[in-house]
Structure formats: structure tokens, C-alpha cells
Structure 1
Amino acid sequence: MDINGDGFADILSGCYSQHGYDYMVGSFWVLYGDKEGKFAKAVELKGNDGKTLMILNEKDAKNSNLDIKNICTRPFAVDLNGDGKLDLVSGNFEGSFYFFAGEGKGAFQSKAVELSDDAGKPLRVQSGHSDPFFVDWDGDGDLDLLSGSSAGEIVWAQNKSTKGEAAMAKFDAFTTLIAAPARDDNGNAADGPAYSVRIHVADINGDGKLDILAGDARHSGGEPRADLTEEEKKKHKALQDEMDKVSEKWQAIYSKYWKDFEDAVEKAGKKLTEEEQEKLWKELVEDKMEKDEELKATQKRMGELQEELGKYLTPWVSTGNVWVYIQK
């Protein structure tokens, strides 16, 4: 994709959450290409206000309750409003889609607008990890929206705009294109993509029909080792039993502070502003948890137990596969 319109292909990427901020932000990055097919060092995209381009504004980004909207970004550059300039549409951890209007030559408006279907409901991937890919899937001359998902399902939203219309695309609600594969008792999918599926659409086999490439993430490990002795099995069980009790204790302490917060919100008797809720949360939850010695001791013990348990478990392994769905 040629982001800045200089005639050379560039590489566009999102990220989970970039370091260097006081809040979580999945910023956007570009590696600009040159005539030799090489790419410059990645640079962070800025909005037309000169600040880091991100889904949330700075005020909302500081609200940790909204983190899932602002992280795990997956951008796609496309002229979605028909003005001849590349726009940016991003997926995120939550499963929603946000639109940044393009201003030409790789510049984008800072304000992100959530995409909705033609009934006014937000377009959402229910399992999270929205993954926008725009292509004319039904062959009617306009760009439809396809997406992978956290659960392995692939969905699509038909573009209902009039062909050639220079206006913002109008989409149907999502429908399932490819269902999530069946899983075994451990949650593993043997005959299809596992988790965090990212897609690419192209005619893979040259038959004139669009096919789908799907990359996934797979995680294994964390199970008791098969070679444990009887004595080691007993030690592992004792540690796990203690971990369960300590975790319950941590949850009970946290739930107490959470209830205090909920009660305070209810007592207010009105709809609090986000700023007022943030203040209450800090006073009744964050500040008190930070000073709670029992909670600190519980967290410390959980860390120690986790380290001890690791000696009896198989190592965690993360990998991924690429799957091909050939259209019939």
C-alpha cells in the first residue's frame, strides 16, 4: 500500500501497546518504501493535530476502563468515503472498528469515528480482535468489509452503497462467512485457525475467485509434566491448592473495593461524568488497593507460588500457522 502517494509501496502496522506513554496506546507505524524496494525505519503516525494518531483522545486514553478500544490495533488503508484520499480503518482488542478520514499524502484526521452498520449499530466482532480487510467480496463493484476474530471465526459485512457513489460506505451487519472451528477439551482447534486470526484476501490459486489466507496464534504448555514422580505430583497439587486459596483471597479483597465503588456510583443518584467516575475509582479502588498491606502480601505470595508451580509444568510455547480457504 502506498500510504503517502509517492509511487512506492509502504508497510503499515498497528501494535499491541507502545512504550513511552502514561497510558496504553496501540499506535500506528509506517515503514516508507523507496524506488529500490527498501524501507526506512518505522515511524509513528501523527494526526493532523501533530499528536500521536490513536483511537481514543488523550483524556479517554487515561481511563483504564477503555483500554480495550485503544490497544491491539490492526489498520487497513482504504478510500472508504469516496473522496479519492486514503483513509485509515483500524480494528482493536475490543472488536470494534474506527475510521480516520484521510487528508492526502499520508495525513489523517486525528478524530476517530466508530463504524456502524446501516441500522446505526456499531460493527463489532463479538469475540474481539477485529481485523479489517476491505475487498469486493460479492463482485458488485464496491468494497465489503471482512474480518478475522479472536475465536477463529471470519465474518463479513456487505457494502450497500450505490456503485460509483462518492460517499461514506454503508454496511450491513456482520454475518458469518466461515464459522470458528470446533475445539477439543483443551480449547485447541485441530482443523482450522486457533486464536487471534488475521486474514488476507486474494485469488490464491488463479481460478478467478477470491480466497482467504488466515494466520493464527497458538499457545500450548502450562500443563503438569508427564514425567512427574508421585512425590512431585503431591507437591504440585499442594502448591496449586494454595494458589487457588490465595487467588480467592485476592479476588475477595478486590471485590470489596469494587462494591464500594459501585455503591458510591449508585448513591450519587445521577449519571456521573467520566471524569467523576475516574475520580471515584481512583479514591475508592486504586488508592486503597495501593495502601492495602494484606493485598500486597497476597500478590507477593501469588508471584512466589507461580514461580514454584512453573517447575512442575510444561513450558509455554507460542506459535502460529497460516491456513488457506479456497472459494468453491
Structure 2
Amino acid sequence: MHSDPFVIDWDGDGDLDLLSGSAAGGAYWAENWAGPGKPIALSAFRELIPPTQRNSPVLEWPTDDEPKGPATNTRIWVDDVNGDGKLDVLLGDTVHLRFPSESTEEGRKKLEIWQNAYNDLLRRWQEAAEKQDREAMAELSKKIRKMTYTKPGGTRAESTGFVWLYLQK
């Protein structure tokens, strides 16, 4: 779990529970078992909203595969949004959109070349780590860092986010 927890009586039992977003996406709930007016006794976090099964918060845009749910670094807010007396969840995320400057197909090709080179660096770093070759690890780490901040040719990127509404049934 990570920052921006939200404290509210989620389960309606009269005591305050803890809800949180996550660096990996999704939302989590820790139930307060103590009861009203007693010292807090939280359960382990349980998944409230599963993270989207996506390896990366990077979306190639435009795409036919629209986002299906929150990406990463989710932040949570809870309120009765539709006035039905039930608490609903608003979940904000972080996503990085990549737009091809040329045709979508050309942009995809360039992105694939970049991704393959990046994956190769990660594989080589893992091999160096297994051999405990700190010199090679340091050199590869520099290359990985540099490549992480270098956009593939022919694309531009923007960081943004979406807000997802989950109405309680």
C-alpha cells in the first residue's frame, strides 16, 4: 500500500476502517475489528478493487484497446456519489500516453524496437546481478536510466490520469 489513505466507516459497523490506493493500482481495505469507541485494531489489507492486469502504466495512443480500469499509483476517495445511501469509490490513477508522430503502424514499429532494446538491457542487468558483477550492473543501470527517459523516435508522450467511479450495488 502507499500514500493517501482514506479513513471512513466502509462496512457500516460504526467504526473507522482504512482504505488505500496502491503503487501497483487497485484499491485496498483494512477493516477495523475493534468496534465503535475502542482503540483501532485493523485487519490485513484486502483487495477492494483489483489492479488492472497491465505490465506498464504506458499506453500507446491512439489504440483500439481502451483502458479497462485504473493503471498505477492510485489514489482513493470515498463518498455517496449518486445519493443512494451507499458509499462509492472514486479512484484516480497515473498513466503515460504515447502518441505516434507519424502513422500508428510506424509508431508501433519504433516503439517495439525500443522496447526490445530496453528488455535486452534488463536481461543483461539480471545476468550481471546473478554473477554479482557490480561493475557491469552499474554500467547497465546507467544505460537503463538513460533509455527510460529517452522516448522512442517518432513518438511523443504525456503524463495524465483518469478518475474511475465504482458505484456500490
TM (norm. structure 2) is: 0.67
2:57·2:71 contact (CA, 8 Å) conserved in 1?
A: no
TM norm structure 1: 0.38
- Which one scores higher on RCO, CA 8 angstroms, separation ≥ 6? 2
- The 1-side partners of 2:77 and 2:151 are apart by 37
Q: Deviations over 1:22-57 (max 9, x none)?
A: xxxxxxxxxxxxxxxxxxxxxxxxxxxxxxxxxxxx
Q: Distance in 2 between matches of 1:241 and 1:179?
A: 29
Structure of higher CA gyration radius: 1
Residue identity over aligned pairs, in percent, reads: 41
Query: How many Å separate the matches in 2 of 1:240 and 1:213?
Result: 33
Tell me if structure 2 keeps the 8 A contact 1:211–1:325: yes
Q: Could you say which residue in structure 1 is the equivalent of 2:87? A: 210
* Structure 1 residue 140: Cα displacement: 1.5
Paired residues, what number?
158
Using the alignment, how far apart are the partners of 1:178 and 1:243 within structure 2? Answer: 31
Distance 1:173 1:241, change over 3 A: closer
1:1-328 equivalences under 5 Å are 95=1, 129=2, 131-165=4-38, 167=39, 169-181=40-52, 190-221=67-98, 226=103, 237=113, 248-257=123-132, 285=134, 289=135, 296=139, 302=143, 306=147, 310=151, 312-328=153-169
Unmatched 5+ residue regions in structure 2?
A: 60-65
Distance 1:251 1:164, change over 3 A: closer
Contact 2:70-2:164 at 8 Å conserved across structures: yes
Q: Mind listing any 5+ residue stretches in structure 1 that lack a counterpart?
A: 1-94, 96-128, 259-284
Closer, same or farther: CA 194–227 of 1 in aligned 2, 3 Å: closer
Shift of the 209–306 alpha-carbon distance from structure 1 to 2, 3 Å rule, reads: closer
Deviations along 1:137-168, one digit per CA (max 9) or x if unpaired, are 12221101112223432221211103222x2x
Per-residue deviation, 1:312: 2.1
